[in-house]
Amino acid sequence: MNGKPQIESRATPVPGPARSIILFLCSWGPHAAFQRLQDECAPIPEAVKMVRIPCTGRITKALLFKPFEMGADGVALIGCHEGTCRYGSGTKAARANVRDTCEILDLLGLGATRLRLGLFLPDDSAGLLQFLRQFSDDIQSLDKSPVAPYPLPAVQGDPTPALNQVLREYDVYACQDCGKCSSACPLTLAGKTFSPRSTANALIAGQWDDEGVRRDIWSCLTCGLCSDRCPSAVNFPGFVREVRRILLAHGLGGHEAHGGFFQSLSRTMTSPDLRIHHWSWLPDDIQTDPQSKVLFFGGCAPYFDIFFRTHLGVTTRDILVDSLRLLNFFDIHPALLDAERCCGHDLYWSGDQENFLKLARLNVEAIRASGVEEVIVCCPEGYRTFSHDYPANGVETPFKVTLLMDFLEREIDKGAVGFKRLNRSLTFQDPCRLSRFEKKSALPRKLLGRLDSAGFGEMQERGGGAICCGNTAWTGCDAFSKALQVHRLRQARATGADLLVTACPKCQIHLRCAMQDPFIGESLEMETVDLTTLLARTIQWE
């Protein structure tokens, strides 16, 4: 250690700071350095709580973010230098994950400075100590994190009475055991051992604790195709959602895709003091007006693009820009909620009713305070949630909720508007929340029909009977969802179209995901664009 700075030892602990810092520490190189600090009783800031990890590259964005959801003030990820990582690409992956999570923290208003990557080898304990003290000082200089964690209450006791009540409320007893639901369920048809009928029957028989039943409750995509076919009109998606709520409340959590990142993100947004900067990235040429009586609600697309950037290259944020461009085209300069929060759709459908209601109340209160009379929503899930699920859960919306597509159709129908020639042949992926839940499958087709395209071909399953994109509310993503996406893309290609039009950011993400398959991806590849973007790029005054 000749020539290296001496590590300051301490006899008494430094007074405990009010902040909390989670340190994810690679157990290879940096841990040896950290251990030396511990051995020498070095003044490691007390705010730092260390978690040993196998490699920084294994720490996903979901894990990096999780401490923030739980109220941490700062997170440090400590790994090895490039070229020394024993897993080869760990440091590279860590850099990308930290960069993306920092961007998400910025959008959220927590600030990128709360997350930092450090790279240290075993012999650099002094450098590590300096890093930790500097990071701790920086975190101390910031305000305490405004995120107030809301742990789900674990209800004690048997969930059977609550489940029985839901069975009655949703009239699941009306099931005639005909099996039409299972024969329509895209997951079942994709080969998964999942059946809405048997799930319903098992719950009627009180077998909620059965491992298979609990798995199936989280497998369901809540796409609603089963209910569409059910002769007794059993609302199976709603029933599944309620069962998830009860099981979650009893501490019997389920499956959340992507490490639960998006549920974490939504729960973080339930903190009222969070100063979100949802629109900080908006291009300068978009015209908005804080005094407008019309508000545009965008949704979570900006977060999606950052999260999936490294492997999907999605640009769902463009949907928001193009929506605003279309509103500007029709001389609507809408107000925006700078602190826009998630609508809560994903929490609602993954059973976290309590946090969904918190988001709903915060959103409605913020919109009410802004004095707007109409809220235009471009995302089918957001529209469904605002127009249907808020009022159904007792959160009244004292404003008109309009789907952007409805607004556009109304304005275009007034006339004097045309579309530039589009030499592409189109097909359309129906979002389940729009086509099945809101029965609006004719609306996107009406808009597509207005385009001056080379043609439009319907997929084998379409409209109210269309197959889901394979994942709803960030649950149920697995190999069977993938099979479903592959099936859907093959249907799209079979139409002969060369452009797949989607109308929900998640549809675009999930279908693009299947196109990434290293073996069959090329045979599935199809240019994908959101309907909003297509309209914005071709619309013109005549």
Partner 1 sequence: MKKDQGPGGQTEIIFTGFGGQGIVLAGKILGEAVALGDHKESTLVQSYGPEARGGACSAQVIISERTIHYPYVRQADILVCMSQGGFEKYIDVLTPEGILILDSDLVQPRGLDRVHFDIPATRLAEELGRKMMANIIMLGFFTAVTEAVSFEAASEAVAASVPKGTETMNLKAFSKGWDYGRALLKGRQKKAEGRTGA
Binding site for partner 1 (CB under 8 A): 322, 325-326, 328-329, 331, 411, 413-417, 420, 535-542
Angle between helix axes 404-413 and 317-329 (nearest 10 degrees) is: 30
The per-residue b/e assignment along 21-45, b for 16 or more CB within 10 angstroms, e otherwise, is bbbbbbebbbbbbbebbeeeebbbb
Contacts of 150 (CB under 8 A, 6+ apart): 267, 270, 354, 355, 358
521: three-class secondary structure by DSSP = helix
Show the CA angle centred on residue 260, arms to residues 256 and 264, nearest 5°. Answer: 135
Shortest Å, Cβ 332 to partner 1: 12
Sheet holding 528-530, edge to edge: 452-456, 421-428, 499-502, 528-530
Q: Is the CB of 87 or the CB of 329 nearer to partner 1?
A: 329
Q: Tell me if 43 sits within 8 A of 133, measured CB to CB.
A: yes
Shortest Å, Cβ 323 to partner 1: 10
Q: Tell me if 52 sits within 8 A of 25, measured CB to CB.
A: yes
Please tell me the number of Cα atoms within 13 Å of 430 on its side-chain side. Answer: 28
Alpha-carbon distance of 412 to 418, in angstroms, equals 8
Q: Is the CB of 110 or the CB of 332 nearer to partner 1?
A: 332
Shortest Å, Cβ 329 to partner 1: 4
Shortest Å, Cβ 234 to partner 1: 38
Can you read off the two tokens belonging to residue 253? 């959590």
Q: Is the CB of 368 or the CB of 410 nearer to partner 1?
A: 410
DSSP β-bridge partners for residue 76 = 23, 116
Shortest Å, Cβ 448 to partner 1: 17
Contacts of 99 (CB under 8 A, 6+ apart): none
Query: Which residue from 458, 105, 468 is spatially nearest to 303, judged by alpha carbons?
Result: 105
Alpha-carbon distance of 100 to 118, in angstroms, equals 16
Q: Is the CB of 354 or the CB of 411 nearer to partner 1?
A: 411
Shortest Å, Cβ 539 to partner 1: 5
Q: Is the CB of 211 or the CB of 542 nearer to partner 1?
A: 542
| Helices and strands in the chain: count of H runs, count of E runs | 25, 14
Q: Is the CB of 411 or the CB of 517 nearer to partner 1?
A: 411
Alpha-carbon distance of 351 to 140, in angstroms, equals 36
Shortest Å, Cβ 535 to partner 1: 8
Shortest Å, Cβ 456 to partner 1: 20
Contacts of 475 (CB under 8 A, 6+ apart): 218, 221, 254, 255, 256, 257, 349, 350
Q: Is the CB of 230 or the CB of 327 nearer to partner 1?
A: 327
Q: Is the CB of 211 or the CB of 331 nearer to partner 1?
A: 331
Cα dihedral: 342, 104, 332, 432 (round 10): -50
Shortest Å, Cβ 322 to partner 1: 7
Q: Is the CB of 277 or the CB of 537 nearer to partner 1?
A: 537
Q: Tell me if 114 sits within 8 A of 21, measured CB to CB.
A: no
Q: Is the CB of 164 or the CB of 288 nearer to partner 1?
A: 288
Shortest Å, Cβ 292 to partner 1: 18
Shortest Å, Cβ 404 to partner 1: 13
Shortest Å, Cβ 331 to partner 1: 7
Alpha-carbon distance of 76 to 60, in angstroms, equals 13
Question: Cα dist. 171→227, 232, 235, 305, 348 in Å?
Answer: 12, 9, 8, 40, 20
Q: Is the CB of 424 or the CB of 537 nearer to partner 1?
A: 537
Shortest Å, Cβ 509 to partner 1: 24
Could you count the other beta carbons within 10 Å of the beta carbon of residue 244? Answer: 25
Q: Is the CB of 126 or the CB of 326 nearer to partner 1?
A: 326
Query: Which residue from 498, 499, 382 is spatially nearest to 431, judged by alpha carbons?
Result: 382
Shortest Å, Cβ 533 to partner 1: 10
Q: Is the CB of 232 or the CB of 538 nearer to partner 1?
A: 538
Q: Is the CB of 411 or the CB of 458 nearer to partner 1?
A: 411
